[in-house]
Amino acid sequence: MLSTIQPSRCLSRFPVHLPTCGRTKSRFLRVVSSAQPVTTAPLADQSQILSIRDSLLSRHLSAVQVADSYLGRLKQTEPQIGSFLHLSEPDKVLKQAQEIDDKIKRNEEVGPLAGVLVAVKDNICTADMPSTGGSHILDGYRPPFDATAVKRLKDLGAIVVGKTNLDEFGMGSSTEASAFKVTANPWDLSRVPGGSSGGSAAAVSARQCVVSLGSDTGGSVRQPASFCGVAGLKPTYGRVSRFGLMAYASSLDVIGCFGSSVADTGILLHAISGHDALDATSSKREVPDFTSQFLSASSLKSRPLEGLRVGLIRETVDGGVDSGVKSAIQGAAAHLEQLGSIVTEVSLPSFSLGLPAYYILASSESSSNLSRYDGVR
């Protein structure tokens, strides 16, 4: 079963046996019933979310079967990786999956995320589930409400499978600063998954869930996504409601998305975006369909970036930059040129001021936000 919900690459370095995954099209994409047409866009062969939806509506697999596969995967891998601080009861997950199957049997409409198992970083509030922020200060705290992003996912049929590990209150870059445990990188258990959203990145990378939510203040989604080989996105500030996110640095915090593909990350972002009356900083701008401009790889030319101009910031490869980082940047620039883009070196003199400015803002705001937990104020 698990081999049918694997993307096209294998985590060959992970020491636990993994199901075989090749580049053949998933069984989720077989022809669907004409009585229940579903969207089989060019993204379907890249998206676990669309594959699961096609499979459910075609009656090829049930939501219970999909959930059971991921639960089995969790049981197999979680002891070694440690992605989660709290897991939903398997019976509860399967009950929610059964409700989706019952709706499909009655030919009732189900949400676009029906049957999709989602992991949520533990600094994002979830009703009736622990939300600790990775800190013993909040050990045992169970919010009476869902964060807006979580509520929107549930409303669309997603199933929350658990709460993921993080550096305490989101302060760290390796997920070693959690008060509860250390999370390992699924590709190599001796290495870190990055942070602070390391648990969410590791969970998607190890295929313990379909997609996950993290939070990003200064790289806490993007960096662990890079470490774990998944797609991670920090949305523009205000695009996603921060209601229910434990505040670290309020002017920088954003709830972000992890997926095994850009397609899944885009679908997840679309699901959680939009104005929220409970968050005055959320944007009122219309939410576009982020996947509408995605193209299938098979439809692209050999030089799909023909004519695109890309600026390479000189200060990112100047003195003081690690040679490995510099080599990676230059390699990426060369690859973009092979795809047809025009790479031009540009100068951004204020680039070096970004980090000190970040630390001034983040430290000041976090000291104010976290004062509520110190037992004095």
Give the residue-averaged pLDDT of 16-27: 31
User: Which is the catalytic residue, given 55, 196, 273, 341?
Assistant: 196
Is residue 343 classed as helix, strand or coil in its secondary structure? Answer: strand
- CATH code 3.90.1300.10 region(s) in the chain: 48-294
121 in active site = yes
pLDDT band at 352 (very low <50, low <70, confident <90, very high): confident
How much is the pLDDT for 282? 97
Please provide the CATH number assigned to the domain covering 48-294: 3.90.1300.10
Contact 214, 183 (CB under 8 A): no
How many Å apart are CA 209 and CA 53, to the nearest integer? Answer: 15
Q: How many CB atoms lie within 10 A of CB 364?
A: 12
Query: What is the pLDDT, as a whole number, of residue 317?
Result: 86
pLDDT confidence of residue 376: 60
pLDDT by residue (tens digit) across 135-164? Answer: 999 999 999 999 999 999 999 999 999 999
Mean pLDDT of 221-242: 97
**Predicted pLDDT at 45:** 64
CA 250 distance to own-chain centroid: 20
pLDDT tens by residue, 279-337: 999 999 999 988 887 877 777 788 889 989 999 999 888 878 888 989 999 999 999 99
Catalytic residue, from 26, 47, 83, 121: name it: 121
**For the chain, how big is the Rg over CA atoms in Å?**
21
Q: Within 82-138, where are the H helices? A: 90-105
User: 């009861």: which residue's tokens?
Assistant: 89
Structure-block tokens of residue 201:
């990145």
Contacts of 356 (CB under 8 A, 6+ apart): none
Cis peptide before 302 (omega within 30 of 0): no
Query: In the 8-state DSSP scheme, what is residue 23?
Result: S
pLDDT band, residue 42 (cuts 50/70/90): low
Percent of the chain with pLDDT over 90: 77
- Provide the pLDDT confidence category of residue 1 given band limits of 50, 70 and 90: very low
| Burial category of 373 from C-beta neighbours within 10 Å (exposed 0-12, middle 13-18, buried 19 and up) | middle
Condensed to tens digits (0 to 9), the pLDDT of residues 105-145 reads 999 999 999 999 999 999 999 998 999 999 999 999 999 99
Q: Which amino acid is at 104?
A: I
Q: Which of 220, 70, 68, 208 is nearest to 134 (CA)?
A: 220
Distance of CA 181 to the CA centre of its chain: 20
First to last CA, the chain: 52
pTM above 0.95, yes or no: no
CA distances from 105 to 93, 108, 213, 364 (A): 19, 8, 30, 54
